[in-house]
Amino acid sequence: MAECHPVGFQWVMEAKARGARIFHVDPRFTRTSALADRYLPIRAGSDIVLLGALINHVLQNGLDFREYVLAYTNAATIVSADFRDTEDLDGLFSGWDPETATYDPRSWAYAGTDEQPQGEHVEGGRRHAEAAGPESYGAGGAGAHPSPRTDPTLDHPRCVYQILKRHFARYTPELVERLCGIPSAAFAELAEAVTANSGRERTTAWVYSVGWTQHTVGAQYIRTASILQLLLGNMGRPGGGIMALRGHASIQGSTDIPTLFNILPGYLAMPHAHRHDDLNHYLELEGGETGFWGNRRSYLVSLLKAWWGEAATEDNDYCFGHLPRMTGDHGHYTTVMGQIDGTVKGYFVIGENPAVGSSGGRAQRLGLANLDWLVVRDLTLVETATFWRDGPELETGEMRTEDIGTEVFFLPAASHVEKEGTFTNTQRLLQWREKALDPPGDCRSDLWFYYHLGKLVRRRLSDDEIDRPVRELTWDYPEHGAHREPSAEAVLREINGVGPDGRALSSSTQLRADGSTACGCWIYCGVYADEVNQAARRRPRGEQDFVAPEWGWAWPANRRILYNRASADPEGRPWSERKAYVWWDAERGEWTGHDVPDCEIGKPPDYLPPEGARAQDALAGTDPFIMQSDGKGWLYAPSGMADGPMPAHYEPHESPVANILYGQRANPARRTFDRPESPYNRPGPLFPHVLTTYRLTEHHTAGGMSRPLAYLAELQPELFCEMDPRLAARLGLGNGDWATIVTSRTVLEARVLVTGRMRPLRVEGRVIHQIGLPYHWGWGGGGLVTGDVVNDLMPLVLDPNVYIQEGKAMTCDVRPGRRPRGRAMLDLLETYRHG
Amino acid sequence: MPGSGWLARWPVIRQLKGEDPRGSAARSARTDALRPRTERADTVARSVCPYCAVGCGQLVYVQDGRVTQIEGDPDSPISRGRLCPKGSASKQLVTHPGRQTRVLHRRPYGTEWEPLDLDTAMEMIADRVVRTRRETWEQTCEGKVVRRTMGIAGLGGATLDNEENYLMKKLYTALGAIQIENQARI
């Protein structure tokens, strides 16, 4: 965090100054480790063992926050008798279909809900999983029975609490020592600190980044942390939570308003040809009827009204048929395979640089070279725009410029100071940027590009039926200045939504399913409340309290801590004065506190839903997790995950050690690409080391925004690999020497940094060396400094829930000296692939 | 050695003579006359750092149509005026000489970039979108209506504004392009 989110890290240091203890778990020692109370080196790819052992420690010793757990989680819920655990099936859960390599989640359901199956339980999991369906749970949870059978004594052998206890029983401190390389004494100190610092008076927070997500079990890493935090009562409370530190200025925003294949704005799933026939059918399958997600008809109809305006009517399903349909995985890496196969003809790359930034870059470049046309918009000539004249495949002879038929348009982009608009930061906070000046030359905002491209396309339309969705699209925004820049505020206002009177809405609870409201993204409804750009609010921090509600605007409803109903006890009183955040004011009959309460403001804590209630009316006054159909935090996920209702430790796709827990070595549901462009390292002595990658403070991702800057290029001028002294000595390498790193994907060279920051770990009785590589370099990109492309080393293997690649744990070999050039490099690679 | 002439007032001499080397000894008539360039700015825009997702506040100073400085916004409850090395260097991001400001075009099988007028480029891109969409249109797939094109794909968005992502998703979806992805996947 100190390296990659340095200014955010000041708050960790503030907490430390006030007595907080900081533990840092990471394969390499960083500036964060230097400032933490304890540093725990860990083998990359083994975190579920560590987190699972913490869960086991809590459960075996009865250290859970019982009152919180009983009231706010599904610990007491009874699970179907059909469910079988990984402990029973040697690493598989029940429902596994080896033919399709997917799970049918029906047996994971709550008991006694057969008569009322919901969502994935109706149709099995395959279609849902193939389209990375779990991603749609970014706002609302998967469907489940709203009031399942429970056993508040937690004694029932099939209640979630007991299932969890059995599931994690083998995740012991000894296992942590064997698989993570963390000594038992260090684990004991961590376990003691985390549990002692949780409860009524205290809370513990976890912070993670892509070190947790870029794995074939990435989503389950987060699930494991969620289970631990729910057991300890650390969710929805100040100082608690699981903080995702995201790495791009608006990467949260680009998920909320997604340029992603499988979701629409506000985490509504893209329709699937085989799952959704029409609007009603879609709504039926996409979640439960209870909890706030039960209002999804209003959210979707309002979105369709925002896009197709007058053309969207009740009679035509509000133009639901205008939405194109998925039939499976249309994600980034599958799209690249489509480019190689020739089905994808045209490609827009906007502020991204996949030739350097995506895993297995060679496949990316093969795809780019097989397009009809490519449009790249960026600040500099990134490698994705120039691969045809200077890509690494030209040096090896795999490509020749004269043979590449791709037509390339490079359009220069406006910088962040040359346009106005909002970024959504890592805490869901939208901040409006004022425009400082006009962009130079041909540089334009991406808003300008898409708006004017849309206008030019619409001028070319015919009366043909296939053109109707574009013809009928609402596409009329005020234009400003000589460049005819469309108004970003008008777009933000459309995102916010308007009511029947044409006025800006102030809350998503005002959205209607009858077509009388229009709203481009329901979770952002309120950002333009009272016709005021709330994201532009800048009340100085000295003039407001620690929550700072008048700086920018956070979704949803300007709430700064999600699920904050859980910061009060079931009766609505703060768990302790020290941790008071929101509470029930009986006198005024409403919730109040430091933040916007994350519940219905007038719903008393003793409210019980009547039989048959739907949407928010079905949530009890004690239910804090209002987007879940049962209002509970899920220790066990009866649906929603593609790879199991609970996390289990699987080794990375490429690992130097076996899985001693299960016969099933790696995540059975992980997505692989069985093609020549996607080779994998074979197990065995050819690839003996663990490779992990990371960022440096002084650079940004593929380097397009940092390598061309003189200050940053000087601060970190050259690619290097971090290596422990024992391995360096064995290879005869000294500080500053060259080393060659090899995977079955490519061969690259880097300067050697011999350092105790990378510690060899004793895992399963043998010493494992970990190699660390920052990934900011490329051959061009306008960089004042250049270097080999680290992401080229990565395998194309994905988490099955969200299709993120495993970029943080793989195997490699290291050889002394520089890499061979040209044909000789391919020859060396061949020996590793087949030797 | 002169006692009070220009040489005695030379900061190096005063520092050697033992005065506080970072304080009074470093002062001269010239340094006393120096003013921060932020004071001379014509306008100051309240902005946000474009690198990671912490969302540090930035103040962008503009003078004579040029960005002259970017500093941390002390009012921000997120960053309290601080910026990391990248954020501190972001004036260079906007002003560095390697920044491309003109449209470039590479013909199929071409060996060099060629200049292209922005309006012409936009017309050419619109032509290609319409043509590729028509040529690759899929009305049905596996017996189901899909009304889409698998011929056009897009990547990008995590560095862009919400408003930009919104127009992108809206236009792509209306066109039937579904292979739309961004860095959040990666």
Q: What is the distance between the alpha carbons of residues A719 and B88, in angstroms, rounded to a whole number?
A: 22
Q: Looking at residue A128, what is its pLDDT?
A: 84
For residue B175, give the nearest of A350, A470, A803 by CB distance.
A470
pLDDT single digits (tens) A175-228: 999 999 999 999 999 999 999 999 999 999 999 999 999 999 999 999 999 999
Question: Does B159 fall in a domain?
Answer: yes
B42 and B86 share a domain?
yes
Residue A329's Cβ-side half-sphere holds a number of Cα atoms within 13 Å equal to 23
The pLDDT mean for chain A works out to 96
Does B13 contact A at CB distance below 8 Å? Answer: no
The verdict on a CB contact (< 8 Å) between B47 and A417 is: yes
- The secondary structure of residue A310, as a DSSP letter, is G
Q: Which of residues 22-41 of B touch A (CB under 8 A)?
A: none
CATH number at residue B71: 2.20.25.90
Of A109-118, A209-218, A486-495, the range with the lowest mean pLDDT is A109-118
CA distance A392 to chain B (A): 16
Any B CB within 8 A of A251 CB: yes
Q: Is residue B78 situated within a structural domain?
A: yes
Q: Give domain status of residue B142, yes or no.
A: yes
Closest among A795, A637, A695, A756 to A160, alpha carbons compared: A637
- Tell me the residue ranges of DSSP E strands in A548-694: 553-554, 582-585, 590-593, 671-672, 689-694
Predicted ipTM of the assembly: 0.97
B168 touches A at CB < 8 Å: yes
> Distances from the Cα of A223 to the Cαs of A319, A523, A633, B75, in angstroms?
36, 23, 11, 36
- The two beta strands, A479-480 and A102-103, are unpaired
Question: What separation in angstroms does the CA of A561 have from each of A235, A465, A784?
Answer: 9, 47, 42
Count: domains in chain B: 3
- How many Cβ pairs closer than 8 A exist between chain A and B? 474
Instruction: Tell whether B6 and B27 lie within a shared domain.
Output: yes
Average pLDDT on A594-603 reads: 97
Convert the pLDDT of each residue in B106-165 to its tens digit. Answer: 999 999 999 999 999 999 999 999 999 999 999 999 999 999 999 999 999 899 999 999
Whether B101 is in a domain gets the answer no
DSSP E strand boundaries for A670-801: 671-672, 689-694, 720-723, 738-742, 747-754, 761-763, 766-768, 770-774, 797-798
Kindly calculate the radius of gyration of chain A based on its CA atoms and give it in whole angstroms: 27
- CA nearest to A418 within chain B: B94
A320-324, A684-688, B4-8: which range is least confident on average? B4-8
CA dist., res. A213 & res. A205, Å (int): 17
Predicted local confidence at residue B1, as pLDDT: 46
State the average pLDDT over residues A480-494: 97
Question: Alpha-carbon distance A721 to A736, whole Å?
Answer: 10
Do B44 and B20 reside in the same domain of the chain?
no
Same domain, B17 and B52: no
Q: Does pLDDT of B2 surpass 60?
A: no
Is the pLDDT at A384 greater than 60? The verdict is yes
For residue B126, being part of any structural domain is answered with yes
At which residue do the structure tokens 């108004």 appear? A487
Query: Is A737 a residue whose pLDDT tops 60?
Result: yes
Taking the C-alpha atoms of residue B179 and residue B28, their distance in angstroms, rounded to an integer, is: 63
- C-alpha to C-alpha distance for B186 and B184, rounded to whole angstroms: 5
With an 8 Å Cβ cutoff, are A453 and B126 in contact? yes
Q: Which of B85, B96, B171 comes nearest A698 by C-beta?
A: B85
pLDDT at B4: 66
Is position B108 within any domain?
Answer: no
A677 with A340: CB under 8 angstroms? yes
Say if B46 falls within a structural domain: yes
Position A120 pLDDT exceeds 80 = no
Widest CA span in chain A = 80
Q: Hey, is the C-beta of B182 within 8 angstroms of any chain A C-beta? A: yes
Give the model's confidence band at A58: pLDDT under 50 very low, under 70 low, under 90 confident, else very high. Answer: very high
- Does A401 contact chain B (CB < 8 Å)? yes
Whether the per-residue pLDDT at A724 is higher than 60: the answer is yes
pLDDT digits (tens, 9 = 90+) for A644-680: 999 999 999 999 999 999 999 999 999 999 999 999 9
Q: How far apart are CA A624 and CA A566, in angstroms?
A: 5
- Output B3 or A103, whichever has higher pLDDT: A103
Rounded mean pLDDT of A794-818? 97
Of B88, B149, B181, the CB nearest to A259: B181
| Cα–Cα separations (whole angstroms), residue A124 to A164, A565, A728 | 24, 34, 51
% of chain A exceeding 90 in pLDDT: 94
Instruction: Name the closest residue on chain B to residue A710, using Cα atoms.
Output: B92
Asked if residue B102 belongs to a domain, the reply is no
State whether residue A351 sits within 8 Å of chain B by CB: yes
Encoded amino acid at A541, one letter: R
Residue B7 has pLDDT above 90, yes or no: no
* Facing B89 at nearest CB: one of A419, A423, A712: A712
CB A697 within 8 A of CB A6: yes
CA distance B125 to chain A (A): 8
- What pLDDT does A140 receive? 83
| Cβ–Cβ contact A70 with B under 8 A | no
Structure tokens at A135: 């991603």
Is A250 close to B159, i.e. CB distance below 8 A?
Answer: yes
Residues of B in contact with A346 (CB under 8 A): 128-129, 132, 151-153
Same domain, B127 and B85: no
The pLDDT value given to residue A117: 64
Question: β-strand A747-754 against A689-694: which pairing, if any?
Answer: unpaired
Above 90 in pLDDT, residue A374? yes
B51 and B88 inside one domain: yes
pTM of the full predicted structure?
0.96
Residue in B78, B98, B161 closest to A250 by CB: B161
Select from A562, A251, A240, A595 the least CA-distant residue to A426. A251
Tell me whether residues A249 and B158 touch, CB distance under 8 A.
yes
Chain B residues whose CB is inside 8 A of the A412 CB are: 99-103
B79 shares a domain with B59: yes
Residues 131-160 of A with CB under 8 A from B: none
Q: In chain A, what are the domains? A: 671-834 (2.40.40.20)
The answer to whether residues B178 and B131 belong to one domain is yes
Number of neighbouring beta carbons within 10 Å of residue B100: 21
Which residues does chain A have within 8 Å of residue B124's beta carbon, measured at their own beta carbons? 409
Taking CA atoms, what residue in A is nearest to B65? A437
Chain B segment 94-123 residues within 8 A of A by beta carbon are 94, 96, 98-109, 111-113, 116, 118, 121-123
Tell me the C-alpha to C-alpha distance, in Å, between residue A446 and each of A349, A667, B89, B138, B170.
11, 39, 23, 28, 13
Give the domain range for residue B27.
1-34
From B80, B95, B110, the end of a domain falls on B95
Answer whether A424 sits within 8 Å of B175, measured CB to CB.
no
Residue A409 near residue A372, CB atoms below 8 Å? no
Rounded to whole angstroms, the Cα distance separating A719 from A201 reads 47
Residues sharing a CB contact under 8 Å with residue A687, sequence separation 6 or more, in sequence order = A654, A656, A681, A742, A743, A744, A811, A812, A813, A832
* Alpha carbon of residue A402 to chain centroid: 40
A169 touches B at CB < 8 Å: no
Same structural domain for residues B126 and B145? yes
Question: Are B128 and B160 found together in one domain?
Answer: yes
Note the pLDDT of residue A115: 58
Least confident residue range of A31-45, A114-128, A134-148, B169-183:
A114-128
